């Protein structure tokens, strides 16, 4: 797991954090009647709330039970903030109000003035696209440094929100065909100075726990379509990219399943070959410089599966309700349809393989 200070360190750049902690400790003393400092857990939660993380996301990041953490916040930190901001007791109900109340109390820095004074670096994501095939997804990332200092990108975090498992099957009459996956699209050449990828980072994504691959228990959630974008799993990748001031960079992440998943999936005593595919919904966060500044991408959703002999187009994901196929396959088809219909509603950048399936599902 990524160290907690790195996850929430941006709070110390955006806020007058030492003064805030000192004043909250005084508020805590007023409530308890004893001289007390904020605990490490309270400081971590405060950082997370100021960075815009919900209690559920903070609990997932620090491996705590979310209900217990909410109780701790309601009995402690929320009450200190009420005292500090001269609010009535038990009026802080929503975690989103924490940053708002403290900003109005003048604990937040003026970032534009700060950047100007510090002559700092400032990374922006210019463009992000998804290339490749169903078994190899390439995230093509273009960034720009609009600051006046060199920026050093040192970590990439994949912040997973959901994962869905799809089943497909190969009909007997097309099993004899073994079609190769199409090659990834060639990179287009720009009329201006071309910016070629400076490096490609290989990233192995976690797969379903049914295949005995190490995975946090709460990652798959039994395909539950959660409407909240909580972070249910973090993957941290060490990177090393240097972007000069007023300059650009381009690099890629190649995503694939573990080697132990690169094997044919089928069911014994079945006339059909059964295949398993995954859909991942996540954001990409880049952390840079010694003060752990960060920039986050828009939502990304990709379709990924092992390298099966047959192409994705020769398999069946959806069937008609009056089909003669088994009830189990009809159940898979209905589940696939529900997933794809819901995923189509999410505003995001999607891989071409996923877009193709969605077009079939919602036609």
pLDDT band of residue 119 (cuts 50, 70, 90) is low
Q: Which residues contact 353 (CB under 8 A, 6 or more apart)?
A: 133, 134, 302, 303, 312
pLDDT tens-place string over residues 213-272: 344 433 444 444 444 457 788 889 999 999 999 899 999 999 998 865 554 444 545 567
- The rounded distance, in Å, linking the Cα atoms of 46 and 52 is 10
Residue 279: what pLDDT? 94
* pLDDT greater than 50 at residue 301: yes
pLDDT at 340 over 60: yes
Give the pairing type, strands 123-133 and 273-288: unpaired
Structure tokens at 327: 């009830």
- For the ranges 144-158, 199-213, 261-275, 289-303, which has the lowest average pLDDT? 261-275
Structure confidence at residue 152 as a pLDDT band (50, 70, 90): very high
Average pLDDT over residues 332-344: 92
pTM metric for this prediction: 0.61
Instruction: Name residue 100's beta-bridge partners.
Output: none
Share above pLDDT 90 across residues of the chain, in percent, rounded to a whole number: 45
Q: What's the length of the chain?
A: 363
Of 315, 289, 290, 305, nearest to 351 (Cα)? Answer: 305
Tell me the CATH architecture of domain 4-109: Orthogonal Bundle (1.10)
For range 187-198, the mean pLDDT: 63
Task: Produce one character per residue of 7-38: b if its CB has 16 or more CB atoms within 10 Å, e if not.
Answer: bbbbbbbbbebeebbebbbebbeeeeeeeeeb
pLDDT for the residue numbered 121: 84
**Among the ranges given (71-75, 154-158, 260-264), the one the predictor scored with the smallest mean pLDDT:** 260-264
Question: Where do the CATH 1.10.10 domains begin and end in the chain?
Answer: 4-109
């Amino acid at each position: 797991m990524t160290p907690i200070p790195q996850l929430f360190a941006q709070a110390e750049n955006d806020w007058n954090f030492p003064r805030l902690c000192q004043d909250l400790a005084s508020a805590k003393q007023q409530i308890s009647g004893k001289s007390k400092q904020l605990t490490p857990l309270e400081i971590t939660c405060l950082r997370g709330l100021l960075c815009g993380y919900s209690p559920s996301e903070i609990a997932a990041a620090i491996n705590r039970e979310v209900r217990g953490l909410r109780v701790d916040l309601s009995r402690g930190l929320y009450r200190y903030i009420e005292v500090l901001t001269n609010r009535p007791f038990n009026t802080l109900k929503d975690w989103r109000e924490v940053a708002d109340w403290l900003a109005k109390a003048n604990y937040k820095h003026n970032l534009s003035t700060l950047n100007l004074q510090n002559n700092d670096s400032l990374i922006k994501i210019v463009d992000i696209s998804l290339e490749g095939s169903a078994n190899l997804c390439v995230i093509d990332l273009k960034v720009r440094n609009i600051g006046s200092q060199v920026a050093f990108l040192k970590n990439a975090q994949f912040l997973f929100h959901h994962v869905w498992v799809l089943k497909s099957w190969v009909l007997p009459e097309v099993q004899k065909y073994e079609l190769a996956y199409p090659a990834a699209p060639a990179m287009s050449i720009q009329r201006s100075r071309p910016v070629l990828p400076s490096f490609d980072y290989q990233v192995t994504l976690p797969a379903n726990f049914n295949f005995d691959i190490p995975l946090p228990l709460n990652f798959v959630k039994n395909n539950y379509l959660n409407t909240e974008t909580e972070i249910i799993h973090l993957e941290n990748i060490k990177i090393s990219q240097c972007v000069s001031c007023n300059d650009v960079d381009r690099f890629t992440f190649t995503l694939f399943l573990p080697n132990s998943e690169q094997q044919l999936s089928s069911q014994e005593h079945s006339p059909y070959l059964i295949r398993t595919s995954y859909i991942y919904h996540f954001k990409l966060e880049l952390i840079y410089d010694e003060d752990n500044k960060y920039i986050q991408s828009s939502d990304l959703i990709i379709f990924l599966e092992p390298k099966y002999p047959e192409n994705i187009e020769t398999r069946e994901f959806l069937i008609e309700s009056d089909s003669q196929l088994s009830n189990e396959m009809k159940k898979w088809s209905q589940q696939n349809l529900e997933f794809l219909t819901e995923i189509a509603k999410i505003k995001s950048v999607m891989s071409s393989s996923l877009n193709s399936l969605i077009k079939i599902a919602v036609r």
